[in-house]
Amino acid sequence: MAGLVPAIHVFRAVSTDVESSLFFGSPHILTANRIHFAEICSRTTALEKDVDPRNKSGDDASRGIFQNRTMSPITLSPGLVYYPDYLDRPAQERLLQSLREITMQAPLFTPRMPRTGKPFSVRMTNCGRLGWVSDVDGYRYQPTHPETGKPWPAMPEQVLRAWEELSFYPHPPDACLINFYEQSARMGMHQDKDEKEFEAPVVSLSLGDTALFRYGGLERRDPTKSIRLRSGDAIVFGGPARLIYHGIDRLNAGSSDLLPQGGRLNLTLRKVDKAL
């Protein structure tokens, strides 16, 4: 995730007793210093010019458990494929519960920019064999949580199934980065290039409020386009799009009721090491 631009943001500290305060809307007093992801756990997607790319029919009852079988993938550019409504509402809720369980073991932490130590505006955690971290020493993958020192939790079966369905890659992912965006959070334009294996794509799943996703080319100065990613959407970038610049400009607050207190969760699945 080289090239990230930090945003000035004030982070609140919470106690381990507030596991469900934002995921499930339970009122709690926020007091201590361990941030847990369950603290934050509870539509028309369009291009920036408000063109709806779905053009689909059918209701929620026709969707599959993991994927909306009635939808068609939309190729945004060579190698960049958008899957609207990939996860139906029940699947989103199951995934949210899995994330709550994950963050009981691997609480959210605030990554910091290399050298400067400036905090990101997102908070994050990971699951899988490896997890992505950033601090004053740089960007890297490591097998343990940077604060607890414990191994990352295993990826849920639902997440592995999404990789199997969307990646068209024969080996499982090594890492699943989980980002939580509060309403003011954003992600500067960057490339995902800390991996050793670029033959595998990056698979991204969205939960919660709609985000304006901006994507460009292989150079930072290349022209960009934007699409709004809703809760349940998936996007995959691989092949010629594997190293494109991309980021999140802003959230559409209140566009989803999946997370009772609002915000967005984003999961990105990566193959870090070359397959043997």
Q: How distant, in Å, are the alpha carbons of 30, 232, 253 from that of 211?
A: 27, 12, 9
Q: Is residue 134 in a domain?
A: yes
| Alpha carbons 156 and 235: distance in angstroms, whole number | 19
Q: Is residue 212 in a domain?
A: yes
The reported pLDDT for the residue numbered 77 is 96
Q: What is the chain's mean pLDDT, rounded?
A: 82
The reported pLDDT for the residue numbered 43 is 35
pLDDT class of 1 with cuts at 50, 70, 90: low
CATH number at residue 104: 2.60.120.590
Token couple for 222: 């290349």
Q: Is residue 9 in a domain?
A: no
Q: Is residue 2 in a domain?
A: no
Does residue 69 register a pLDDT over 70? no
Question: pLDDT of 141-162, one tens digit each?
Answer: 999 999 999 999 999 999 999 9
Task: Give the number of domains in the chain.
Answer: 1
Residue with tokens 């958008």: 82
Q: Is residue 59 in a domain?
A: yes
pLDDT class of 67 with cuts at 50, 70, 90: low
Q: Is residue 243 in a domain?
A: yes
| Alpha carbons 259 and 254: distance in angstroms, whole number | 9
Q: Is residue 258 in a domain?
A: yes
Q: Is residue 210 in a domain?
A: yes
Share of the chain above pLDDT 70, in %: 74
Question: pLDDT of 74-120, one tens digit each?
Answer: 999 999 999 999 999 999 999 999 999 999 999 999 999 998 999 99
Does residue 35 register a pLDDT over 80? no
Question: pLDDT of 185-224, one tens digit each?
Answer: 999 999 999 999 999 999 999 999 999 999 999 999 999 9
Range(s) of the domain holding residue 244: 16-270
Token couple for 150: 């414990």
Amino acid at 27: P
